[in-house]
């Protein structure tokens, strides 16, 4: 409501443990601060599109971004989310390829754009930054590989439970055990890799089994252990 469209500062931003810039010296942060451009996106805005060349990357300051690939009949496959502190779009800069996903906001979002040249400069000049970035990429790669296994071998039911756990880990739950992210049934389906109807049916089942409670898009976690059991670890 009262959010002011204020330019976020890299110096205060980079304090967070999860921030990729955390090892950079202050003078470098100041240079980024000076060079970056800040963008304000309304919900459902596209930041960049799969297949396009992007000449920089984005650091999400507030809001949530879904990164998805588009399949043959236009069905989306959500690969991951960007949330405050995440960087998105860096993969294609580093690999020298076109963007492999579309980035679309699912909430009003503020993101800072930093040029690819600057990214490469930082990698070249600061070995600790290069290590951090590599660590991030390798973790992401591990997650993607894990998901290949899941999607190839697990049932939709197991995957849905797993996705819910993943969302809990990523976005947390509030005091009332309600998941701190609101997704449409279709978006859930596009994460799990299944049909919307299947997600609806399975959520109903979970609810009937008292594993979760549903109120619109709010999902309240009643029994995390149950979810874990359903997901098969």
Question: Contact residues for its own copies (CB under 8 A)?
Answer: 69, 71-72, 75, 77, 79, 91-92, 94-97, 100-101, 120, 123-125, 127, 130-131, 133-135, 137-142, 144-149, 151-154, 193, 232
In the bound state with its own copies, the residue whose beta carbon lies nearer, of 61 and 102, is 102
Residue 140's binding partner among DNA, its own copies, none (Cβ under 5 to 8 angstroms by kind) is its own copies
Taking CB under 7 A as the criterion, which residues in 44-83 touch DNA? none
Closest CA to 13 of 29, 2, 31: 29
Reported residue count of the chain is 233
Token couple for 149: 């296994």
Contact (CB, 8 A) for 187 and 66: yes
Rounded-to-integer distance, Cα 128 and Cα 148, Å = 30
Using CB distances below 5 to 8 A depending on partner kind, what does residue 217 bind out of DNA, its own copies, none? DNA
Nearer to DNA, 96 or 216 (CB): 216
Among 3, 12, 216, 225, binds DNA (CB under 7 A): 216
Torsion of CA 65, 146, 22, 78, to 10 degrees: -10
Q: Taking Cα atoms as reference points, which of 206, 100, 219, 207 lies closest to residue 159?
A: 206
By the rule CB under 7 A, 200 interacts with DNA: yes
- Binding region for DNA (CB under 7 A) out of 81-89, 137-145, 190-198, 223-231: 190-198
Residue 198: exposure state from Cβ atoms within 10 A (0-12, 13-18, ≥19): middle
Q: Could you say which of 204, 209, 210, 229 contacts DNA (CB under 7 A)?
A: 204
Q: Which position among 49, 69, 118, 185 is part of the footprint of DNA (CB under 7 A)?
A: 185
Nearer to DNA, 13 or 189 (CB): 189
Contact predicate 88/138, CB 8 Å: no
Residue 107 touches DNA, criterion: CB under 7 A? no
């Amino acid at each position: 409501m009262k959010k002011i469209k204020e330019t976020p500062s890299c110096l205060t931003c980079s304090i967070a443990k999860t921030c990729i810039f955390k090892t950079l010296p202050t003078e470098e942060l100041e240079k980024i601060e000076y060079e970056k451009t800040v963008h304000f996106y309304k919900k459902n805005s596209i930041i960049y599109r799969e297949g396009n060349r992007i000449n920089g990357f984005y650091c999400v300051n507030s809001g949530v971004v879904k990164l998805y690939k588009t399949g043959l009949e236009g069905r989306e496959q959500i690969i991951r989310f960007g949330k405050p502190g995440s960087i998105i779009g860096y993969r294609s800069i580093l690999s020298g390829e076109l963007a492999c996903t579309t980035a679309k906001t699912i909430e009003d979002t503020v993101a800072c754009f930093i040029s690819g040249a600057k990214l490469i400069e930082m990698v070249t000049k600061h070995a600790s930054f290069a290590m951090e970035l590599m660590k991030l990429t390798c973790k992401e790669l591990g997650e993607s590989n894990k998901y290949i296994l899941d999607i190839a071998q697990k049932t939709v039911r197991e995957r849905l439970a797993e996705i819910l756990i993943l969302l809990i880990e990523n976005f947390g739950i509030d005091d009332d055990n309600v998941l701190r992210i609101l997704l449409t049934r279709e978006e859930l389906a596009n994460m799990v890799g299944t049909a919307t109807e299947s997600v609806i049916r399975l959520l109903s089942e979970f609810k009937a089994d008292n594993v979760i409670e549903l109120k619109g898009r709010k999902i309240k976690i009643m029994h995390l252990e149950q979810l874990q059991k359903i997901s098969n670890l």
